[in-house]
């Protein structure tokens, strides 16, 4: 049976942050968004009549519901924390992540965590990103306090230069902001893995593209428990932000899943299309 959806975003669950997330996703691109939730009556009013947003009833941890949502052909999957479940919501997210992987382990999966302490429970999954607003809020608050303190402490250059960093952070993650945004560019591993990061900086910056981080794969080798079982090799996304100038991707990741898997590069640019064209021209 041919899938109804392709290259779409599957959002599993709904919470008080979901409407803002949907708006941000629509600001960043035109991919269809399919919301899979058990009780659609609870969210229909919040979702409203948004172009490109679809609702489907079902339990996101149920294989049949995920198949109906065409997870096998999805661009990415987002698992939201359910506020109503309290502390047990992260256990539910583990179940959903495992159910998604049984259908297609390669799909890019992002999970919203309620409690950062539960990160360890996802060690057996192939979830690509675990995000909690605790981490983001704590760091933003700490940066704000530090920068304000520096600005008021003295008429120092440090205070003058740092006091506006928090608005910069906010603008970088705001999809409605008209300035440059952070994009991922896929590069050929064989062609780019041996290049130093300073080569990418020297090439990109004059062309208004600022490289920020490598995105590769970390290998997890889980040994067999006994002679009747085989060892399991799991690949997960791995980010190396702001690497030293002389570091090559091949220095960071000695193992790689294969030449067909691209090397990711996070960049600050006006558009992904422009960034891709810039590095396509690097010979």
156 bridge partner residues: none
* The two three-digit tokens of residue 165, written as one number: 């960093």
For residue 238, CA distances in Å to 60, 137, 205, 218, 261 come to 26, 22, 24, 6, 13
> For the segment 208-261, what is each residue's pLDDT rounded down to a tens digit?
999 999 999 888 766 655 566 666 677 777 889 888 989 999 999 998 988 888
* The two three-digit tokens of residue 227, written as one number: 């002679």
> Is the CB of residue 146 less than 8 Å from the CB of residue 231?
no
How would you classify residue 114: left for phi > 0, otherwise alpha for psi between -120 and 50, otherwise beta? alpha
Antiparallel, parallel or unpaired: β 210-222 and 263-269: antiparallel
Q: What share of the chain is helix, strand, coil (3-state, %, to 5)?
A: 40, 25, 35
- Taking only the tens of pLDDT, the chain with its 283 residues reads 667 889 999 999 998 888 888 888 888 778 999 999 988 887 877 777 788 899 999 999 999 999 999 999 999 999 999 888 877 888 899 899 889 988 988 888 999 888 777 777 776 677 878 888 777 667 666 766 665 544 455 555 544 545 566 666 666 666 666 566 788 999 999 999 999 999 999 999 999 999 999 999 888 766 655 566 666 677 777 889 888 989 999 999 998 988 888 999 999 888 889 999 999 988 7
Alpha-carbon Rg for the chain, nearest whole angstrom, is 21
Instruction: For residue 37, report the phi and psi dihedrals to the nearest 5 degrees.
Output: -145, 150
């Amino acid at each position: 049976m041919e899938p109804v959806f392709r290259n779409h975003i599957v959002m599993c669950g709904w919470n008080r942050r979901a409407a803002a997330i949907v708006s941000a996703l629509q600001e960043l691109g035109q991919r269809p968004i399919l919301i899979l939730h058990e009780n659609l009556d609870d969210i229909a009013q919040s979702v409203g009549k948004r172009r490109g947003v679809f609702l489907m009833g079902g339990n996101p941890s149920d294989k049949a519901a995920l198949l109906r949502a065409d997870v096998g052909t999805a661009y990415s999957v987002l698992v939201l924390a359910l506020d109503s479940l309290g502390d047990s919501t992260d256990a539910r997210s583990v179940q959903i992540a495992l159910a998604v992987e049984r259908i297609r382990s390669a799909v890019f999966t992002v999970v919203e965590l309620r409690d950062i302490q539960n990160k360890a429970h996802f060690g057996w999954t192939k979830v690509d990103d675990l995000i909690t607003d605790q981490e983001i809020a704590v760091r933003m608050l700490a940066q704000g306090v530090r920068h304000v303190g520096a600005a008021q402490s003295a008429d120092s250059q440090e205070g003058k230069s740092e006091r506006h960093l928090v608005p910069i952070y906010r603008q970088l993650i705001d999809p409605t902001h008209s300035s440059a945004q952070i994009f991922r560019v896929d590069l050929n591993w064989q062609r780019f893995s041996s290049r130093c990061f300073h080569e990418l900086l020297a090439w990109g910056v004059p062309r208004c593209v600022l490289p920020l981080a490598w995105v590769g794969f970390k290998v997890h080798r889980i040994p067999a428990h006994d002679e009747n079982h085989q060892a399991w090799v799991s690949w997960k996304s791995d980010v190396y932000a702001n690497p030293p100038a002389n570091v090559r991707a091949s220095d960071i990741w000695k193992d790689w899943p294969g030449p067909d898997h691209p090397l990711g590069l996070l960049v600050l640019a006006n558009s992904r299309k422009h960034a891709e064209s810039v590095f396509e021209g690097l010979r």
